[in-house]
Amino acid sequence: MAQTSNDIKNGSVINLDGKLWTVIKFQHVKPGKGPAFVRTTIKDVLSGKIVDRTFNAGMKMEFETVDNRSMQYSYRDGDAFVFMDMSTYEQVNIPEALIGDQERYLLEGTDCVISFHDGTPLSVELPASVILTVTQTEPGVQGNRSNAGTKPATVETGAEIQVPLFVGEGEKVKVDTRDGSYLGREN
């Protein structure tokens, strides 16, 4: 059965000009005058580039199947990251380029969702937040301050984040993996 632009949904993967794009947002629009269309925000699966595209309603499209697998990060091997499928114990090497800045929040044993297309890894999605130990930070000093009560802290992965003045070395903190923001302390 042929698929058309009317079948677009969030998370759909479409093939445009030989590139794979993931649909982030879509909106079916039926103006009072003129033909209907689908307005989308799509993300290039490989480069991460985000663009807005509009498709005519009913336009034939090539949808791709993507296999999302939950895998656990094991270790780094040169310029690749080794992940293990916990149900089959199969190990997969993921290139450093696919991890990018997320490496700053990646600890051994972290469960991630890896998207595959025809056996080729496309993307790695970390959990929304991770718990990391503060390895280095200055003691917080109350009083005259211009930075709203935060200070820099280095966590066990080497990333530097901003934490409240009361957080000390050795404490576990919850960090948002999307922007590196402090979410709270953990026991």
Taking only the tens place, the pLDDT of each residue in 111-170 is: 998 888 888 887 788 888 889 888 888 886 665 555 567 888 888 888 898 888 888 888
Is 28 in contact with 10 (CB distance < 8 Å)?
no
Domain 67-125 and domain 129-186 have a common topology: yes
Is 114 in contact with 83 (CB distance < 8 Å)?
yes
pLDDT of residue 54: 92
Arch. (CATH architecture) of 3-64: Roll (2.30)
- For 89-99, write each residue's pLDDT tens digit: 889 988 887 78
Residue 186 pLDDT greater than 90, yes or no: no
Fold type of domain 129-186: OB fold (Dihydrolipoamide Acetyltransferase, E2P) (2.40.50)
Within 10 angstroms of residue 135's Cβ, the number of other Cβ atoms is: 13
The model scores a pTM over 0.75: no
